[in-house]
């Protein structure tokens, strides 16, 4: 089997409702979708994402540099392809290159699983079983009644674990919100909070201490992800487990966190680390340190990955962030009774609704044109 043609496109898809955290307000996801056509008529589809900026640059890196290097070649040696292209793009910048690699890597794994006639999770050596998930919200901007209504919707869908945002400028407001959610879900449910790198190390210790009476399962990204010593110091000072990983991009960076005992729950993002190939290495690295993994976002691929490793804990299902909720899938993938079952089809099972997606295509220069247009009318 050879790759006969390849393409990458960027789509700027509006969220069902805006997201708000301690550091971001998010209105769109940009999906960078790669399609690989083969001489055997199989097609592999992969994607990565941004939270609203940079997607056209990722698509250009794929179209201009990465995809021409795989067309005409054998898609089977994924590890070798990944390593060669990573070395060629390493100087571009970790985040940008990894997002591009992920879109291609996921498409290659989709091809391999389709050729084998297996769901991706089975190809990776796992069992296709329901994956326990948690309801997650980018919800710091929500008034307390709306936050509790969101949690209630998660409860109706069968979740037994929940995550909310913290990092308000007023520490007492964080306490009020966490106290209210804990009261609503009861003492037996898992409750996690996410500060999105808002605090400095000393401040983080004090803020976490205020929240510890509510029995948190983890505190996520209390300080900058770049600050390995700071995270290690915070972890040593608090009782609540520290989770992080969505802004860590390689096995080498994760290894430094593990060497310094700076993390309790490892959270690699399959798009941001460069795809399935690198995600599995990070999960196995965590296992070698007796630590659990919990994939960040990309639930449609992450559910397969959680089936394929033995150290996975609950999987994140972000309210409004799945491809199903974005309205771009032909066959929805939803949590049932608080768990997500990977599709049974060969490959990863994600079938994009191409007509729906095409409405959101977003090419280079589109953002600049949108800004310039009002000036031209003035």
Q: Which residues are catalytic?
A: 165, 296
Tell me the residue length of the chain. Answer: 378
Write the DSSP assignment of 316-359 as a string of letters.
EEETTTSHHHHT-BSS----BTTEEPPPSSSBS---B-HHHHHT
Determine the Cα–Cα distance for residues 243 and 220; give it in Å rounded to an integer. 5
Determine the Cα–Cα distance for residues 305 and 128; give it in Å rounded to an integer. 10
Determine the Cα–Cα distance for residues 60 and 304; give it in Å rounded to an integer. 28
Determine the Cα–Cα distance for residues 27 and 24; give it in Å rounded to an integer. 10
Q: What is the largest CA-CA distance in the chain?
A: 62
Determine the Cα–Cα distance for residues 132 and 209; give it in Å rounded to an integer. 28
Determine the Cα–Cα distance for residues 176 and 171; give it in Å rounded to an integer. 9
List CB contacts of 40: < 8 A, sequence separation 6 or more.
Answer: 1, 115
Determine the Cα–Cα distance for residues 104 and 96; give it in Å rounded to an integer. 13
3-state secondary structure at position 316 = strand
Cα angle 289-293-294, degrees, rounded to a multiple of 5: 165
Both tokens of 31, joined, read 């999906």
Write the DSSP assignment of 227-250 as a string of letters.
-HHHHHHHHHH-SSPEEE-TT--S
Determine the Cα–Cα distance for residues 119 and 167; give it in Å rounded to an integer. 39
Q: Are 1 and 75 in contact (CB under 8 A)?
A: yes
Please report the sign of the dihedral spanned by the C-alpha atoms of residue 78, residue 83, residue 85, residue 86: positive
Determine the Cα–Cα distance for residues 295 and 290; give it in Å rounded to an integer. 16
3-state secondary structure at position 149 = helix
Phi and psi torsions of 214, nearest 5°? -95, 10
């Amino acid at each position: 089997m050879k790759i006969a043609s390849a393409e990458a496109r960027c789509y700027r898809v509006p969220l069902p409702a805006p997201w708000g955290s301690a550091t971001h307000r998010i209105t769109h996801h940009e999906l960078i979708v790669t399609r690989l056509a083969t001489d055997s008529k199989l097609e592999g589809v992969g994607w990565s994402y941004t939270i609203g900026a940079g997607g056209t640059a990722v698509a250009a890196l794929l179209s201009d540099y990465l995809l021409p290097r795989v067309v005409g070649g054998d898609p089977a040696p994924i590890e070798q392809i990944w390593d060669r292209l990573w070395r060629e793009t390493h100087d571009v910048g970790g985040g940008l290159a990894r997002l591009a690699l992920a879109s291609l890597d996921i498409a290659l794994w989709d091809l391999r699983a389709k050729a084998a006639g297996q769901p991706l999770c089975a190809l990776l050596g796992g069992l296709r079983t329901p994956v326990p998930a948690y309801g997650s919200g980018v919800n710091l901007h929500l008034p307390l009644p709306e936050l509790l209504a969101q949690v209630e919707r998660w409860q109706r869908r069968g979740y037994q674990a929940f995550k909310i945002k913290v990092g308000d400028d007023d520490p007492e407001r964080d306490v009020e919100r966490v106290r209210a959610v804990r009261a609503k879900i009861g003492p037996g449910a898992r409750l996690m909070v996410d500060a999105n790198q808002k605090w400095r190390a000393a401040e983080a210790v004090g803020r976490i201490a205020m929240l510890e009476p509510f029995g948190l399962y983890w505190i996520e990204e209390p300080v900058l992800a770049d600050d390995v010593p700071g995270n290690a110091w915070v972890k040593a000072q608090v009782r609540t487990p520290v989770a992080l990983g969505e802004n860590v991009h390689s096995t080498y960076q994760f290894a430094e966190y593990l060497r310094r005992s700076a993390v309790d729950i490892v959270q690699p993002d399959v798009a941001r680390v460069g795809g399935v190939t690198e995600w599995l290495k990070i999960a196995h690295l965590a296992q070698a340190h007796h630590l659990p993994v919990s994939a960040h976002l990309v639930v449609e691929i992450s559910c397969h990955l959680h089936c394929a490793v033995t150290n996975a804990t609950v999987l994140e299902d972000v309210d409004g962030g799945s491809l199903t909720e974005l309205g771009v899938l032909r066959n929805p993938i939803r949590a049932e009774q608080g768990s997500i079952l990977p599709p049974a089809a060969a490959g990863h099972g994600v079938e994009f609704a191409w007509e729906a997606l095409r409405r959101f295509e977003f090419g280079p220069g589109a953002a600049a044109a949108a800004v310039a247009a009002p000036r031209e009318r003035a």
